[in-house]
């Protein structure tokens, strides 16, 4: 099989595509023939050895995929061979085959092709849990979404709008704000050229946002926190800016704010009921026509370019590698 390989840590340009032996599933595992794999910012961090969990060299990067079940491991009863499935792993998805625990797989929501299925779960589940499970957002509330044209950001705008929330999109250019408005954002802030705190308060009628979803981090996090109204909630999701922010806790004290985090990798372990509820809600939205924003599809041979685009934040929505057609 063909697979992308990281043999030394560094920028994505160091990746190569090589031929490896075909995989075989072990007990409790399933072999999936990968049709498409999404590119996420943590993939960039893993290749650079900057992620919270290191990946020993050499390894095949890639965490989010969709494909067809090719073989079941010993004592695995399903899903049947030939079933369309999607899943997530720490590494291994940028290859024509991936072996995963059967519990890591889920059925592809009806209506999604393989490219959109690969781009769907990690970002849309992250966005849903950040908005609802953790952020406790409700219809009519103002939600400020940072990085609103990125993977998680665009998903958060899409879901929040469908749930009746009022979205202030925050992004780094007017072009990106246009993308967010097409997804339903009611207002926008160009946080490169505008004061995020003051503009958000102005757009929300002076009171400020009820909820902030922040997958960006960096210097904009504190301004977004200051843009919350009293009793507001701030959910930190990731650090695409590359810098983990330090929040002055006196801001939390003075305005009675709630700061929480969400991380998709472990949610099934500590909140299985919330995961099931989110899966049902997202499947219903897909049936109603919701689709992830996919801005570009690359071949596996273009994996270094795809990761570089994501690393340099030159994309909107999701970038996907198309593998087996």
pLDDT in tens, 184-197: 999 999 999 999 99
Q: Span 138-150, mean pLDDT?
A: 96
Q: Which pTM value belongs to this model?
A: 0.91
Give tens-digit pLDDT for 303-312.
999 999 998 8
The sign of the CA dihedral 190, 44, 157, 131 is negative
Q: Span 163-184, mean pLDDT?
A: 96
Alpha-helical runs (H) found in the chain:
41-47, 114-118, 121-128, 151-162, 174-182, 196-203, 220-226, 249-255, 267-270, 272-287, 303-311
Q: Which residues contact 318 (CB under 8 A, 6 or more apart)?
A: 38, 39, 119, 123, 151, 292, 293, 294, 295
pLDDT bin (cut points 50, 70, 90) of residue 266 is confident
User: What is the rounded distance in angstroms from the CA atom of residue 193 to the CA atom of residue 214?
Assistant: 19
Q: Quick one: what percent of the chain has pLDDT higher than 70?
A: 99
325 pLDDT higher than 70: no
Q: Span 267-272, mean pLDDT?
A: 85
């Amino acid at each position: 099989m063909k697979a992308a390989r990281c043999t030394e840590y560094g920028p994505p340009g160091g990746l190569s595509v090589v031929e490896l032996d075909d995989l075989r599933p072990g007990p409790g595992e399933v072999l999936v023939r990968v049709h498409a794999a999404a590119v996420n910012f943590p993939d960039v961090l893993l290749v650079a050895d900057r992620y919270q969990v290191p990946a020993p060299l050499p390894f095949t990067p890639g965490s989010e995929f969709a494909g067809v079940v090719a073989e079941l491991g010993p004592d695995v009863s399903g899903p049947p061979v030939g079933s369309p499935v999607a899943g997530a792993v720490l590494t291994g998805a940028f290859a024509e085959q991936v072996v995963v625990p059967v519990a890591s797989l889920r059925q592809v929501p009806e209506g999604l092709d393989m490219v959109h299925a690969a781009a769907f779960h990690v970002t849309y589940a992250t966005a849903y849990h950040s908005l609802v499970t953790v952020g406790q957002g409700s219809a009519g509330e103002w939600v400020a979404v940072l990085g609103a044209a990125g993977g998680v950001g665009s998903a958060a705008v899409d879901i929040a709008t469908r749930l009746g929330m009022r979205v202030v999109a925050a992004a780094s250019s007017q072009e990106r704000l246009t993308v967010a408005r097409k997804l339903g954002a009611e207002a926008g802030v160009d946080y490169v050229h505008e004061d995020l705190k003051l503009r958000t308060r102005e757009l929300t009628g002076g009171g400020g946002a009820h909820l902030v979803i922040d997958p960006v981090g960096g210097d904009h996090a504190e301004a977004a926190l200051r843009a919350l109204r009293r009793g507001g909630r701030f959910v930190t999701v990731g650090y695409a800016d590359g810098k983990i922010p330090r929040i002055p806790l006196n801001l939390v004290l003075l305005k009675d704010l709630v700061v929480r985090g969400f991380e998709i990798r472990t949610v099934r372990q500590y909140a299985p009921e919330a995961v099931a509820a989110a899966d049902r809600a997202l499947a219903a939205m897909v049936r109603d026509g919701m689709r992830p924003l996919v801005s570009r599809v690359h071949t596996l041979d273009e994996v270094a370019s795809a990761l570089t685009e994501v690393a340099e934040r030159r994309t909107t929505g999701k970038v996907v590698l198309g593998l087996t057609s």
